[in-house]
Amino acid sequence: MEGWRQDRRDRLLSVFVAQRDDGLGWRLTATLGTSGVSQDTLVARRNMSAANVVVSQAWRNATIAGTARFGAAGLPQQLEAQAGWMPIRPFTLAGTVRRTVYTGSRTGVRAFGAAGITLPLGLSARAEVAWQDDAQSPLVRTDPLQRVLDVAGWIGLDNRLITLEVGRGRRDPFAPLGFAAGISTVDSLHPTPRTEFVAVHASLSIAPGFRLSGWYFDPVIGGGDFEPPKHALVSLTFYSKFWRVFRSGIFALRGEVAMESWSGWGLGGIGIDSAGTHQRAMTGSSFVNTNLEMQLAGVTIFWAVQNINVMRSSYVEGLGYPRAVQQYGARWFFTN
């Protein structure tokens, strides 16, 4: 990987006014944000800014919201509408529609819809549909619009001990725009064919303070670059506020051990070197990460270790992956 350095500054200012403090009623939110990149080793200096206004109304069984986003320096202009409704107790409906105007006389549209039903014994079912005729990158003028339709269905179980959701979906084919600059071993990505996948999300309470959770994803038909089969993550988490010692609840301790694993996969991007163009592959790998956090009021002290099992494989063929990398520090959140 080529050396990559940059100075980046982000600023965000958000103000709101609301009718009530319990989330119901009307609410008006205005946000102004700026972002600047300088001294980058790969791209030229760039400054962008955007503003958005959100107007929403919430009732006990329905919500509506309208958003207007205004961008400068190449960022798009967007109008978005969102709605959710529970017509009768077991049914839930939700949808989103967004229209985007890009530079280069391009106009994109996206829509999403979901319907769910709550069944007896903690069971549930939901269906999702996503349609778009839109661009992938707002700043690339040559990026064409692509029309795709994705659908998925899920069955879930939720009770005091376990949360489980199993689903199957289908994605339309699409052509990825490109790959990250600076990673010399991969030049571009293959077009992704029509893909059908199976996915599972689960969380199990095994003892007070201990929770076992994870997810599983497998593209049983099709699949694209960096989308290996039998891709899974399992995590064991301990969390406690130690109420008997700190009755005010200002102290909390959280520890996590997670393992991510996948099988070998033949699609790992397209590489170009002195020998010409060739196909990259992904080898089967397993990485173990740990994270320890201690919270005292608004201060959180953390210590995280990536690839603690010193796995010599990597995500991208031809690139290494750091072994037993440690990150530690403190985060401070405060309110006036």
Amino acid at 198: V
What's the pLDDT at 64? 98
pLDDT of 323 reads 84
Cα 185 to chain center, whole Å?
A: 25
pLDDT in tens, the chain (336 residues): 566 677 888 999 999 999 998 989 999 999 999 988 887 766 777 888 999 999 999 999 999 999 999 988 888 999 999 999 999 989 999 999 999 999 878 899 999 999 999 999 999 999 999 999 999 888 888 888 999 999 999 999 999 999 999 999 999 999 988 777 777 788 888 899 999 999 999 999 999 889 999 999 999 999 999 999 999 999 999 998 875 565 666 788 999 999 999 998 988 888 877 777 888 888 888 999 999 999 887 889 999 999 988 887 777 777 777 888 899 999 887 765
In this structure, is residue 154 part of a structural domain?
no
Token pair for 130: 């996503």
Q: Give the CA-trace dihedral at 259, 265, 268, 274, to 10 degrees.
A: 120
For 119, 178, 185, 270, 286, the CA distances from 192, given in Å and listed in that order, are: 36, 12, 20, 13, 25
Residue 106 φ then ψ, to 5° = -115, 140
Q: Is 87 within the bounds of a domain?
A: no
Cβ neighbors of 54 (< 8 A, separation 6 or more) are 27, 28, 29, 30, 31, 65, 66, 67
- Residue 220 in contact with residue 196, Cβ under 8 Å? yes
Predicted pLDDT at 138: 84
In-domain check, residue 159 = no
Angle at 137 between CA 135 and CA 140, to 5 degrees: 105
- DSSP letters spanning 15-76: EEEES-SSS-EEEEEEEEEEEEEES-SSS--EEEEEEEEEEEEE-SSEEEEEEEEEEETT--
Residue 45: HSE in the Cβ half-sphere, 13 Å Cα cutoff: 2
CA distance 40 to 99: 32
Number of domains in the chain: 1
Predicted local distance difference test score (pLDDT) of residue 40? 72
Say if 18 falls within a structural domain.
Answer: yes
Residue 146 lies in a domain: no
Residue 246 confidence (pLDDT)? 58
* pLDDT for 37: 82
Residue 280 to residue 267: CA distance in whole angstroms: 6
**Residue 192 DSSP symbol:** B
Please report whether residue 122 resides in a domain.
no
**d(Cα 19, Cα 16) in Å, to the nearest integer?**
10
* Full domain range(s) for residue 12: 1-75
Whether 312 maps to a domain, the answer reads no
- C-alpha to C-alpha distance for 11 and 35, rounded to whole angstroms: 7
Residue 136 domain flag: no
Residue 316 CA to residue 325 CA, distance in Å, equals: 18
Question: Which tens digit of pLDDT belongs to each residue from 193-222?
Answer: 999 999 999 999 999 889 999 999 999 999
Residue with structure tokens 């959140």? Answer: 333
Q: Is the dihedral of CA 182, 183, 187, 188 positive or negative?
A: negative
